[in-house]
Amino acid sequence: MEIPLTLGISKREIMRETNIVKYANGLAQMSNWKSTITIRPSYKLKPHTSDRLMERLAKRLRVQVFYTMERDKNDDMYHLHLLLNKNIANHQVCKATGLNPKAVKYNEPIRKPQITGYIIKHINRDNSHHNIF
């Protein structure tokens, strides 16, 4: 089930730095986020393939997932930053998504709600994509 993302920013507003802070605060309050994961598969991600991957994860593990896709610094590859409302082990992520265990680069419980600001730091860039499932 896809949940609409309404965080108090109109479609006409340009995503400026102040809006990113509002968005991050709204995102932090949207769910009781428990963990954050970074995934970097060995293949090139695109928005539609990332959506399918995250939708599969959400359905198979019955977890709410917010994610951003951002470009790696030195090449044309992408990685995903996830927020989850459950703590999920790496092997569960890999089993649900079909990813190689080496693709899960980071998986930690959330200690501070400010992590949402880091997750969406590139949300206003052309090569960024985000969604929630």
Q: pTM for this one?
A: 0.81
Looking at every residue in the chain, the average pLDDT score rounds to: 85
Q: At residue 32, does pLDDT exceed 80?
A: yes
CATH numeric code, 32-132: 3.30.70.260
Best CA proximity match to 27, nearest among 120, 127, 123: 120
Q: At residue 13, does pLDDT exceed 70?
A: no
- Cα 58 to Cα 5: distance, rounded to the nearest angstrom: 16
The string of pLDDT tens digits covering residues 75-121 is 889 999 999 999 999 999 999 999 999 999 999 999 887 888 888 88
Q: Where are the domains of the chain?
A: 32-132
Would you state the pLDDT for residue 8? 52
Sheet holding 104-109, edge to edge: 104-109, 35-39, 78-84, 65-71, 129-132
